[in-house]
Structure 1
């Protein structure tokens, strides 16, 4: 059965919450303030922490902060009283899982605790499953359009975060590189828009892109994205159905003379944010690799 740590400086409120949870078979132990609670968590590792907000020595907000930093897997439920609403909101923002008003403990505490525990257990199981993964491969066939790329890249960034491959900064950088690579495949690959055309004023370029995209010979083309995610690296392969180009004549985007050009920005970002990039001989397939720092 579940174990619950109840943190409250009021013996009466602590006793009421304990009785409600013990009646459904849960094991309960208590603490009078946040510092005692941290000692109890270290010694007993409860499934849930139920805490009052206003306590001496260490209040509920400070306890939530400490638990979120040190024991992020332990869900915290707040017991709120009249006048503690503002601090409760801050505690929820800091990582608390839910709250129950003290005047509704009898009605709502058990149901809320069961719900929070079920979610926490499901997350632990999911984390365990993710930790056992060694390879996640996906293939996407995308229409010849920039519409929907943000949603796709958001999904891939969520995968990277869930798998714990990179920190948030590198996840953001990989997303940027993916976006630039896919945009390049649509505009320069499938729509065959040249770098010189890309340097036109923005409005003129958008009109040209719309005209080209409406032509059947370009409209029916696709972009193919393959993702290979392992515990050592993330590899992305982007292929378009255009005629390609000679990669050997590609200008160096890091050259100071090229950095300021619109058409070199995407490749500059890709080269900056990824550990390895390469084109196939035809020039219509780009491989980008980001290695995990611990690999």
Structure 2
């Protein structure tokens, strides 16, 4: 069974995070480390078993940022989720830029950690799909017109991140980060754009609240929401991957998207994908109508 490594210098937080993770039966195997140096020792001994690391940022001897940087060199295939206390957002953004997959504010860890682990794990497994076929690819260009069906977005993200990995645009944890950015764009286009959900309604949706789920289904089946589409254009080669995600609903006000360095930037789930895009992608912009999201990733080794 795959194992999650939890890293935190506070014993109470270690036990709390373990208890939260074990609410999901998929997280039954957990091991713990008290700081970054201890985590590296655990990884050296158990790297074949550990598939995910959840680490605090502020620790003695080696903090979470330093751990992320070391793991990118030694264990780049293992994704890292950060847990952050208030006031450490800038350090968290640096860690995202260095290779972490996501971060969860400690004040929201009970609600957000398990869904984030599920998302990161799913994207990591998707990297292995289609590997033999896409390894033969040299360039790729696709255009999709999608209904507002989340399962379609998930399958599309799996395909695009695998192609980008096979072409060499990004490798290992970079594919997970690319997948997080693409999911953020697609779900923002669907929920905030086409279905016009508020940030509060998106928060309730991610928590699985029945009234929010019912609202989504109602809007997917009624005018004017029913006929709105999400259009995706992707161009990928060994040197770069460029994506345009357009939607038919009202534009998303760019001023409503927090800067990744801002305190509480990831507190609202409806903003999270758009915030992560700024940290994970080399280019991120809206068109003038704020109804098309343009993101790009460049292969620095190919430049």
Please give the TM-score of this superposition, normalised by the length of structure 1.
0.52
1:265 aligns with 2:272: yes
Tell me if the contact between 2:251 and 2:290 (Cα under 8 Å) persists in the aligned partners. Answer: yes
Report the RMSD for the aligned CA atoms in angstroms.
Answer: 2.3
Change (3 A) 1:145 1:195: same
Residues 169 and 297 in structure 2, CA contact (< 8 A), matched pair in contact too: no
Mapping 1:136-175, distance limit 5 Å: 136-175=140-179
Deviation at 1:193, TM superposition (A): 1.1
- Choose 1 or 2 for highest CA Rg: 1
Determine whether 1:177 maps to 2:144: no
Partners of 1:173 and 1:142 lie apart in 2 by 22
Structure 1 residues 184 and 249: CA distance shift in structure 2, 3 A: closer
Contact 2:146–2:152, Cα closer than 8 Å, also in 1: no
Residues 166, 292 of structure 1: 8 Å contact kept: yes
Give the secondary structure class of the aligned counterpart of 1:220. coil
- Decide whether the 8 Å contact of 1:160 with 1:171 is kept in 2: yes
Any idea what the Cα deviations from partners look like across 1:52-94, whole Å, max 9, x if unmatched? xxxxxxxxxxxxxxxxxxxxxxxxxxxxxxxxxxxxxxxxxxx
Q: Which segments of 5 or more consecutive residues in structure 1 lack a partner in the other structure? A: 1-122
1:288 to 279, 295, 299: 295
Secondary structure, aligned partner of 1:238: strand
Q: Which residue of 2 aligns with 1:255?
A: 262
Distance 2:260 2:215 in 1: 24
Quote the Cα distance in structure 1 between the aligned partners of 2:181 and 2:259.
Answer: 17
- Structure 1 residue 249 displacement after superposition: 4.5
Cα distance, 1:214–1:288 mapped onto 2, change above 3 Å: same
Structure 1 residue matching 2:264: 3-state secondary structure: helix
Counterparts of 1:245 and 1:176 in 2: how far apart (Å)?
A: 19
Query: How much does 1:126 deviate?
Result: 8.7
Query: Structure 1 residues 207 and 252, CA, compared in 2 at 3 Å: closer, same or farther?
Result: farther
For residue 194 of structure 2, the aligned residue among 190, 194, 201 is 190
Which of these residues, 241, 259, 270, is aligned with residue 234 of structure 1?
Answer: 241
Partner residue in 2 for 1:79? none
Kept in 2: contact 1:253–1:264 (CA 8 A): no
Q: TM-score by structure 2 length?
A: 0.51
Aligned to 1:80: none
Aligned equivalents of 1:237 and 1:141: distance in 2? 12
CA gap of 1:137–1:269, structure 2 versus 1, over 3 A, is same
Q: CA shift at 1:269, angstroms?
A: 1.8
